[in-house]
């Protein structure tokens, strides 16, 4: 260690030199690199630091007495405090204001203000109606959005609320004292024991059987045994599961492993694909509206100045220009689909509530839709694909093979005597405990509580796997606790226990037995029958042994047969067991063996024996009882869920901190890793250049031994989210590196290079995870999905969707609902654009022809606002259909309006325009009314509204399928909206009077106008026979079912039904002629 750095932590009267402080931080960082145990250990033991002793000297800490209390403030100023500022919760008012950060709403507000000003100037009595109606629509959208966001935030805080006021035990000035976790400083000696959460990063000083669950940070499902030589590093965010220890704090707060992860969560992701599409759509509609308005203004002024018709002779040029400007603004207002943001909000809010019933808590509304077009899912392994619960999946018990121990259908078929030996060995040769429980984990939705009945494991997970097996139907629900109580471990004259050691890879217990006939050593009494009341009982001792299968097998000379007898371990039998061990290992199973030896009291005194005595005298010539393969098994529904995602065109990847062999085995079982797929480790991944990574990304299916940074960079490279945009951001991500020479060499790259490599279009990435280590990637992803039961608080806060029941198959539900939301919005858009095109065009044509607008302000309010709202409710709440999963996801830059949708819009709009122009010109003659009267315009208005009512049925399908009545029984909201629209239309026409400027219609007029509108329905079938296909380039992802080509029989059917349509039109014309007479 450098002499300049020794003793560099000053006392309270010393001055801290910035250079020395930076040097110390650099040294501490060199032994605290993520997923780099070997390098950290090498740096710790190097001459620069000088091991633990040198580290203590560097930080001016005494291993026994801790730090000097007087240096706490200086240490805090030099290394920081052990806390991170929590983001304050947004108030309802802030959320309400934030809801106006929407291009469509902003266009509407501008249009409303202009409409108000001009309307009041032109007609002070009713001119304000249109502007106020638009502002009302904006207000409704904003309030609904803010209420939803506020409710979701409250629900999430109820789910993830944690008590941050935690006390920890430290040693200062030679005395142990409890302090708040925020007050820990670098150099503190922190004491922990089983069950404690590790509050900061540190290096082990003293330990007694300390084991740590690091799955939250590394993804490793196995508890890590800590020792000073092989792994002395403790990481914040992990939990001590066994033993106790003391460690030296080397990183706190934002510098700790947990803090680094937390810092990534503070950056916000960019707009979602839907938001981008809606903004583009709003801009396009705005441009079209402005062009139409400008064209109308120019046309009307040309008519006045050059054509000079008689009806404009008495109108001044200024007044005519003002009229033309007002009509132009009206066209812009009509063009903007004010119902679109409301439809989005209603659809998302409806789906959010429905998904909550499916145990999906949506934290961010937009994530619901975004998940539908996810092209990549990067899934964690432990706790997401697997159960994060070690389970015996297969084994050999008393020479009897059982390949279905993970889901036993009944007790194993071996003799009672053989089963007794195995059950006794498993129960006694263990330090773990399994506690059955049944509790409600979430109170978010009392109507749909989450029940977690999985047993709680205390201690070693591998030992617990055996205990869980014996306590299942397989072992007749054996009571391991009763067996241990009968063995009287730790009591005078009781049984002896020598815990598992990673160095020996085995553990042993000496169990005292009381028998009336001690010669029959193989027959063991049930714990319930053991008693000390008979003084004549003779004591015998049995060695039960458990450990790594290959080492236990070497020490066995006999094996337990199905009848409970011991058979000689022949060479062929030994090879058979060795072959099984190799087979299990190739399947990434952890192989554990159980053995026993009777009457060991004849070889030594069990009451005084040591672990060395056991190893030398007893752990040989044993009887091989059982061989088991233990794994963290796949969740039951993972294989089907992965296959469904792949069929839906979604590329599923596994990103885990586990070793490569285990990751590959699990990925193959889940169907993630294919023959052509690539799997690699994190150390290889992080050495790739951005260009090299782009080459392997299409086939990269497994990333093992990955650090949180690796997962974060993978997501960044896929979707371009949070990618460094300039030199300053790049240098922040790569401190000490040269931007000019290394920007194309280091991951994740930079925005300009990334955009050029894929034409600016990234993947839509969903990331699943439950651990603290998944936090940054969850935040960088387009949709982050965390686990509600096993997920850490960090993961939940970083996610967009919380899978409350930890069910991987819920991802399929999230995709299904997301696609349903996307399609529902497109259904509404198809319906809305038809209305707006017709309204815009008829207003334009009437202005050119010299008519006043046939639809007055109140009529337009009904058509453009209430119809929008009703359409949003009807089409935005359509239930999902499973066939949505048969297609690939849409690209991020795919148009919101597809080719078939444009076909449907233009065909319906053409018919409606033709009908309205016809009624505008011929209506007075047909219905015997005055041209331009309220009666005339009411007929036109009624026909137009009924066109929308029936076209709403057409809009339920956006493709080539024509089935307007499908699943209507599940769309009660749609039926309610249709009924309300028809009733409201009748009230407006019959009782609107002067306010709506409508005229009551006769029954025949109602029948004809409604029938004219009903033609939209059969027209919906005819237009779908026009051969228009979706643009193949609009789809992303892989796989998916191919769209069937239309058969020629449809053409024949079209020709056959054409006369029917002609007959219907002729019949309507005849009824009109009858009315005239």
Residues carrying an active site annotation: 380
Residue 542 bridge partners (DSSP): 511
State the angle between helix axes of 339-357 and 365-372 in degrees (0 to 180), rounded to the nearest 10.
90
Q: What contacts 263, CB < 8 A, 6 or more positions away? A: 84, 254
Q: What value, to the nearest 5°, has the Cα angle with vertex 1008 and ends 1004 and 1009?
A: 115
Cα 907 to the center of its chain, rounded Å = 40
- Name the helix (H) or strand (E) containing 202: strand 201-213
Cα-based distances in Å from 946 to 301, 834, 939, 1015 = 34, 13, 11, 10
How far apart, in whole angstroms, are the C-alpha atoms of residue 179 and residue 935?
A: 83
Dihedral of alpha carbons 887, 891, 897, 900, sign: negative
CA angle (744, 746, 750) in 5-degree steps = 60
Report the alpha-carbon distance of residue 940 to residue 946 in Å, rounded.
10
**Torsion 98-733-707-42 (CA) sign:** negative
Six-digit token pair at 908?
């319906």
Residue holding tokens 């009529």? Answer: 859
> Alpha carbon 714 to chain centroid distance?
16
User: HEC states along 120-179?
Assistant: HHHCCCCCCHHHHHHHHHHHHHHHHHHHHHHHHHHHHHHHHCCCCCCEEEEEECCEEEEE
Residue 299 token pair: 């046309």
How far apart CA 963 and CA 946 sit, in angstroms, is: 19
Is the alpha carbon torsion for 889, 894, 896, 901 positive or negative? negative
Which residue, among 326, 298, 271, 276, has the nearest Cα to 111 in the 3D structure?
326
Dihedral of alpha carbons 697, 701, 706, 710, sign: positive
Cα dihedral sign for 923, 927, 933, 937? negative
Tell me how many degrees the CA angle 949-836-868 measures, rounded to the nearest 5. 55
DSSP string, 1006-1061: HHHHHHHHHTHHHHHHHHTTS-----GGGB-SS--PPPPPPPTHHHHHHHHHHHHH
Which residues fall within 8 angstroms of residue 81, CB to CB, at 6 or more apart? 182, 183, 185, 252, 253
Cα 642 to Cα 653: distance, rounded to the nearest angstrom: 10
- Token look-up 């040309």 returns 302
Per residue, the 3-state secondary structure of 252-290, as one string, reads CHHHCHHHHHHHHCCCCCCCCHHHHHHHHHHHHHHHHHH
Backbone angles phi, psi at 395, to 5 degrees: 180, 180
Q: Taking Cα atoms as reference points, which of 805, 786, 806, 808 lies closest to residue 797?
A: 786
CA distances for 863 relative to 65, 335, 840, 985, angstroms: 80, 12, 12, 10
For the chain, the farthest-separated pair of C-alpha atoms sits apart, in whole angstroms, at 131
d(CA 768, CA 761) in angstroms, rounded, equals 22
Half-sphere exposure at residue 999, Cβ-oriented, CA atoms within 13 angstroms: 14
Relative to beta strand 167-172, strand 175-180 is: antiparallel
3-class SS at 832? helix
């Amino acid at each position: 260690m450098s002499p300049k750095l020794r003793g560099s932590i000053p006392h309270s009267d010393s001055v801290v030199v910035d250079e020395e402080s930076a040097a110390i931080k650099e040294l501490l960082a060199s032994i605290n690199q993520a997923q780099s145990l070997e390098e950290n250990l090498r740096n710790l033991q190097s001459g620069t630091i000088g091991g633990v002793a040198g580290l203590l000297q560097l930080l001016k800490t005494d291993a026994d007495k801790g730090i000097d209390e007087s240096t706490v403030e200086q240490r805090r100023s030099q290394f920081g405090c052990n806390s991170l500022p929590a983001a304050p919760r947004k108030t309802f008012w802030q959320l309400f204001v934030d809801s106006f950060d929407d291009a469509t709403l902003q266009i509407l507000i501008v249009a409303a203000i202009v409409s108000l000003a001009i309307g009041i100037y032109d007609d002070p009595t009713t001119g304000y109606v249109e502007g106020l109606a638009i502002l009302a629509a904006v207000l409704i959208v904003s309030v609904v959005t803010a209420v939803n966001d506020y409710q979701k935030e409250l629900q999430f805080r109820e789910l993830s609320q944690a008590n941050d006021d935690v006390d920890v035990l430290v040693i200062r000035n030679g005395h142990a004292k409890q302090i708040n976790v925020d007050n820990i400083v670098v150099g503190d000696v922190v004491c922990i024991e089983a069950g404690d959460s590790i509050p900061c990063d540190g290096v082990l000083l003293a330990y007694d059987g300390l084991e740590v669950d690091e799955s939250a940070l590394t993804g490793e499902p196995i508890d890590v045994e800590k020792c000073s030589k092989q792994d002395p590093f403790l990481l914040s965010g992990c939990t001590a599961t066994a033993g106790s220890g003391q460690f030296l704090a080397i990183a706190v707060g934002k510098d700790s492993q947990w803090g680094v992860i937390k810092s990534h969560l503070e950056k916000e992701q960019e707009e979602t694909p839907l938001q981008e599409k809606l903004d583009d759509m709003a801009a396009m509609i705005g441009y079209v509206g402005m062009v139409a308005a400008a064209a109308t203004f120019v046309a009307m002024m040309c008519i006045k100045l050059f054509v000079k018709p008689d009806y404009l002779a008495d109108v001044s040029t200024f007044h005519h220009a003002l009229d033309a400007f007002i009509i132009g603004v009206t066209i812009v207002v009509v063009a903007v689909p004010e119902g679109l943001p409301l439809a989005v909000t209603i659809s998302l809010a409806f789906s959010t509530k429905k998904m909550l019933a499916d145990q999906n808590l949506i934290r961010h509304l937009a994530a619901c839709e975004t998940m539908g077009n996810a092209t990549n899912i990067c899934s964690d392994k432990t706790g997401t694909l697997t159960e994060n619960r070690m389970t015996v999946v297969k084994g050999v018990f008393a020479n009897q093979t059982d390949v279905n121990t993970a889901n036993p259908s009944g007790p194993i078929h071996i003799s009672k005597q053989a089963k007794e030996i195995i059950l006794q060995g498993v129960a006694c040769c263990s330090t773990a405990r399994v506690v059955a429980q049944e509790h409600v984990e979430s109170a978010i939705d009392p109507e749909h509580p989450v029940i977690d009945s999985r047993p709680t494991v205390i201690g070693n997970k591998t030992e617990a796997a055996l205990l869980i097996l014996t306590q299942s139907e397989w072992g007749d629900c054996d009571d391991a606790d009763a067996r241990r109580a009968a063995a009287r471990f730790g009591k005078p004259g009781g049984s002896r226990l020598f815990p598992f050691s990673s160095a020996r890879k085995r553990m042993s217990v000496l169990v005292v037995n009381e028998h009336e006939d001690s010669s029959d050593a193989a027959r063991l009494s049930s714990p319930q029958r053991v008693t000390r009341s008979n003084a004549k009982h003779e004591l015998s001792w049995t060695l039960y042994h458990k450990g790594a299968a290959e080492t236990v097998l070497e020490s066995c000379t006999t094996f337990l047969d199905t009848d409970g007898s011991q058979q000689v371990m022949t060479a062929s039998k030994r090879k058979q067991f060795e072959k099984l061990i190799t087979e299990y290992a190739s399947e990434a199973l952890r192989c554990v063996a159980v053995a026993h030896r009777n009457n060991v009291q004849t070889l030594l005194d069990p009451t005084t024996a040591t672990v060395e005595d056991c190893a030398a005298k007893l752990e040989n010539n044993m009887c091989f009882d059982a061989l088991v393969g233990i794994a963290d098994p796949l969740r039951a529904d993972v294989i089907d869920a992965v296959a469904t995602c792949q069929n839906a065109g979604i590329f599923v990847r596994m990103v885990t901190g586990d070793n490569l062999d285990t990751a590959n085995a699990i990925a193959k079982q889940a169907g993630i890793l294919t023959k052509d797929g690539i799997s690699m480790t994190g150390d290889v991944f992080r050495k790739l250049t951005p260009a090299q990574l782009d080459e392997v990304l299409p086939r990269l299916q497994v990333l093992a031994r990955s650090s949180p940074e690796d997962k974060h960079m993978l997501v960044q490279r896929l979707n371009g989210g949070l990618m460094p945009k300039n030199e300053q951001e790049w240098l922040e991500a790569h401190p000490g590196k040269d931007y000019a020479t290394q920007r194309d060499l280091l991951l994740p790259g930079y925005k300009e290079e990334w955009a050029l490599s894929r034409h600016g279009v990234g993947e839509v990435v969903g990331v699943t995870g439950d651990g603290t280590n998944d936090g940054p990637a969850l935040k960088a992803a387009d949709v982050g999905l965390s686990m509600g039961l096993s997920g850490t608080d960090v993961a939940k806060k970083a996610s967009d969707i919380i899978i409350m029941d930890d069910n991987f198959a819920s991802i399929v539900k999230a995709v299904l609902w997301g696609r349903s939301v996307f399609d529902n919005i497109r259904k509404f858009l198809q319906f809305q654009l038809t209305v707006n095109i017709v309204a815009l065009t008829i207003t334009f044509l009437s202005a050119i022809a010299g008519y006043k607008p046939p639809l007055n302000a109140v009529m337009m309010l009904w058509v453009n606002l209430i119809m929008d709202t009703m359409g949003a409710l009807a089409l935005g709440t359509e239930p999902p259909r499973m066939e949505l999963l048969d297609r690939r996801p849409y690209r991020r830059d795919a148009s919101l309006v597809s080719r078939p949708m444009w076909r449907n819009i233009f065909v319906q709009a053409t018919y409606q325009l033709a009908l309205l122009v016809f009624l505008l010109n011929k209506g007075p003659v047909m219905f015997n009314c005055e041209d331009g009267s309220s009666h005339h315009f009411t007929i036109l208005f009624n026909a137009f509204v009924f066109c929308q009512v029936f076209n709403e049925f057409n809009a339920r399908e956006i493709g080539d399928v024509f089935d307007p009545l499908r699943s209507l029984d599940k769309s009660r909201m749609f039926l309610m909206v249709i009924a309300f629209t028809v009733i409201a239309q009748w009230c407006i026409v019959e009782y609107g009077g002067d306010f709506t400027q409508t005229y009551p219609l006769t029954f025949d007029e109602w029948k004809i106008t409604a029938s004219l509108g009903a033609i939209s329905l059969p027209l919906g079938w005819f237009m779908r026979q026009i051969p228009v296909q979706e643009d193949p380039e609009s789809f992303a992802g892989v796989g998916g079912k191919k769209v069937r080509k239309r058969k020629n029989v449809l053409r024949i059917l079209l020709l056959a039904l054409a006369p029917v349509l002609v007959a219907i039109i002729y019949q309507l014309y005849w009824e009109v002629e009858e009315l005239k007479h």
